[in-house]
Structure 1
Amino acid sequence: MRAAIVGAGIAGLACADALRAAGAKVILFDKARGIGGRMSTRRATTPRGEIAFDHGATHFTARSTDFRARVARWQADGCARAWPDAGQDAWIGIPTMNAPLKHMAQGHDVRLGAAVTALSRTDAGWFLHRERRRSGPFDIAVVAIPGEQAAPLLSLHDFGMARAAMAAHSRPIWSAMFAFGQPLGTTSAFIRGAAPVVCAVRGNARPQRAAAEHWVVQADWNWSEAHLADDPAVVCDLLLSELGALIGEPPPEPCFAAAQRWMFGQPSGSELGHLWNDAIGLGACGDWLTHGFVEHAWRSGHDLGAAIVAARALAGVER
């Protein structure tokens, strides 16, 4: 079975793992330059040296049996560790948040910088279209990207899937990254904020991170929407002031500041879990089909992969 997956975040990689375990040949296509999705890490050159900012998901939980087993394997392989500062069941990637996803990507054929603009289907199978390039044929195609981006790819082939994707509404999130020449006046590693800040994370308090004082501050959805069109420098200034309010004193002038706008930072979510049309071999997975967290995104991809394997195995027996 030849499978193409659009999106190499945790949902797409979880689906790829399940398909590969059943003997499928899988290729993943992602428009980004690196693995991670919203578990991404941004490396920056600062006056304090190179710092890797975990500027997406600050941590993840592991509560279901299957995902706990997956996380246990990451822990055994040295790419994840419990981080109780964020809660009793909180975990982080080691040495960066995207390390578990890089681990998942090992052994997969992942094509980065490959933005898929359309899907087409012929008697030969599925084809993926990129700028001046076409890849295929594939027996199945899986769309593992945010609902707003998935809808145009699905709309010509399964209107029910496209309608579900169009019903998804993602809220933006601004994340600001700061490096300082001196420690801030707090020993906290993780501060849960009140509006407009969701949390502030002291990166150098996390295991195997750069020693230089550095922080990530994440704004809430409402504030991020209100400041959606702001210049990143303005966002940095505003969230730096909010960081000062959290720690109870004005922070020093940062030696590095940058901001990332996550346009699809938090999806509205649904109870669908995943989507699969066995008649044409088309599926969709991602956190927009669940509840927007790392574990749920993994579950969506894992369950879709298992559903595809079961459907195709049954079809093979019947034939």
Structure 2
Amino acid sequence: MDVVILGAGIAGLACADQLLAAGHRVTLFDKGRGPGGRMSTRRVEVDGETLHFDHGAQYFTVRDERFRRLVQDWQAQGVASPWDEAGPDAWVGTPTMNAPVRHMASAHQVHFGHHVVGLTRNAQGWHVRLQAQQHGPFDAAIIALPAEQAAAILGTHDLMMAADAMAARSQPCWTAMIAFEDRVPIAADSIRQRGIIGWAARDGAKPGRHDGETWVVQGHGSWSTQHLEDSADAVAQALLGALLAHADGAVPAVRYLAAHRWRFAMTPGIDKGALWNGSLRLGACGDWLQGPRVELAWLSGHRLGTMIGSAAAAA
């Protein structure tokens, strides 16, 4: 089959890997400027130096044996490394968090910077409508987007799938990216669940990093919800203040400060793994179907790709 996947994060790419292995042709569209999804890395220029911030997922766990085999391959390729600071089963991409996703995307035909505005189906198959053009027909379509975005697309084709997506609403997350002139006097490299901070990490201390004293500070889910429509500058200042409240001594000057709003950050998951309508050849995968971890997003995509491969073989 010719399969189109909307969303080239880790779930969409995991599904694409399985489909490619089963002999299908896969095309992916993603509105992002490059690989990552929630494993994104922000690059900024400061005084002629490029700084990197893992402003999405801070790390990923490795517990499932199938995912472990993949991560071991990533480690051999130099794109992932364990990070003991976050736990005994925690890993990060190297030299940036999006490195594993970039590695996965290199095996596929991925169109980045393409915002999908519609998905339609006729006698010839599925058609993807972008802002200025249309692609298709495709034999099957996969939605690998956050639940809220997936619901809007699924609602015109499969109401049961759309209802599942609507039941998996996400919490938002405000994230501050901060660079300092020198080391901040905070002993630990991470702070969890303290005041308005849900998670803060000394980004420059992760394996493979060379960016000096950089921090990523993520607001607690309830705080981010309460301040969802605040200005980015106000949020950045609030999260900077929350971080520096943990400093023990004089604080160095700030080189860079900005905030990013993730409207769809943390989903509870609805424990359905993946969705596939064989009669329509329409599917959905993502962390909202499995649970709020990078590993579970991968498992959802892997499961859907396996389901489609098995269904095609049976047919």
- With structure 1 as the length reference, what TM-score do the two structures score? 0.96
What SS does the corresponding residue of 1:175 show, helix, strand or coil?
Answer: strand
1:188 match:
188
Q: Which runs of 5+ in 1 are unaligned?
A: none
- Aligned pair in 2 of structure 1 residues 222, 248: CA closer, same or farther (>3 Å)? farther
Distance 1:48 1:141 in 2: 43
Distance 1:250 1:270 in 2: 46
Distance 2:249 2:150 in 1: 44
What SS does the corresponding residue of 1:164 show, helix, strand or coil?
Answer: helix
Q: How far apart are residue 186 of structure 1 and its match?
A: 2.6
Is the 1:27–1:110 contact (alpha carbons within 8 Å) kept by the matching residues of 2? yes
1:40 match:
40
Is the 1:240–1:251 contact (alpha carbons within 8 Å) kept by the matching residues of 2? no
The answer to which of 3-12 and 144-153 deviates more is 144-153
Q: How far apart are residue 133 of structure 1 and its match?
A: 1.1
Count of matched residue positions in the alignment of Structure 1 and Structure 2: 315
Q: How far apart are residue 202 of structure 1 and its match?
A: 0.9
Q: How far apart are residue 250 of structure 1 and its match?
A: 6.2
* Superposed CA offset, 1:64-91 (max 9, x none): 1111111111011110000101111110
Q: Calculate percent identity across the aligned residue pairs.
A: 49
1:100 match:
100
1:2 match:
2
Distance 1:77 1:212 in 2: 25
2:154 match:
154
One-letter amino acid matched to 1:7: G
Is the 2:171–2:265 contact (alpha carbons within 8 Å) kept by the matching residues of 1? yes
- 1:303 aligned to 2:309? no
- Aligned pair in 2 of structure 1 residues 85, 130: CA closer, same or farther (>3 Å)? same
Q: How far apart are residue 32 of structure 1 and its match?
A: 1.0
- 1:109 aligned to 2:71? no
Distance 2:140 2:278 in 1: 9
2:293 match:
293
Give the superposed CA RMSD.
Answer: 1.3
* Superposed CA offset, 1:257-304 (max 9, x none): 011110001113111111000011000000111111100000000000
Distance 2:152 2:174 in 1: 26
Distance 1:199 1:284 in 2: 29
What SS does the corresponding residue of 2:194 show, helix, strand or coil?
Answer: coil
1:245 match:
245
The answer to which of 275-284 and 237-246 deviates more is 237-246
- 1:314 aligned to 2:314? yes
Q: How far apart are residue 248 of structure 1 and its match?
A: 3.8
Q: How far apart are residue 187 of structure 1 and its match?
A: 3.8
Is the 2:185–2:250 contact (alpha carbons within 8 Å) kept by the matching residues of 1? no
- Aligned pair in 2 of structure 1 residues 199, 247: CA closer, same or farther (>3 Å)? farther
The answer to which of 305-314 and 265-274 deviates more is 265-274
One-letter amino acid matched to 1:294: V
* Structure 2 counterparts to residues 213-292 of structure 1, below 5 A: 213-249=213-249, 251-292=251-292
The answer to which of 262-271 and 12-21 deviates more is 262-271
Distance 1:247 1:290 in 2: 37
Which consecutive segments of 4 or more residues in structure 1 shift more than 6 A?
A: none
2:123 match:
123
Distance 2:66 2:180 in 1: 40
- 1:77 aligned to 2:98? no
- With structure 2 as the length reference, what TM-score do the two structures score? 0.97
Is the 2:193–2:220 contact (alpha carbons within 8 Å) kept by the matching residues of 1? no
2:29 match:
29
One-letter amino acid matched to 2:174: W
One-letter amino acid matched to 2:38: R
Distance 1:249 1:200 in 2: 18
One-letter amino acid matched to 1:217: V
What SS does the corresponding residue of 2:145 show, helix, strand or coil?
Answer: coil
Is the 1:46–1:255 contact (alpha carbons within 8 Å) kept by the matching residues of 2? yes
What SS does the corresponding residue of 2:126 show, helix, strand or coil?
Answer: strand
Distance 1:314 1:46 in 2: 56
Is the 2:167–2:270 contact (alpha carbons within 8 Å) kept by the matching residues of 1? no
Distance 2:222 2:107 in 1: 40
* Superposed CA offset, 1:15-45 (max 9, x none): 0000001111100000111110110000011
One-letter amino acid matched to 2:229: A
Q: How far apart are residue 305 of structure 1 and its match?
A: 0.3
Distance 1:248 1:275 in 2: 50
Distance 1:120 1:240 in 2: 45
One-letter amino acid matched to 2:8: A
Distance 1:276 1:89 in 2: 31
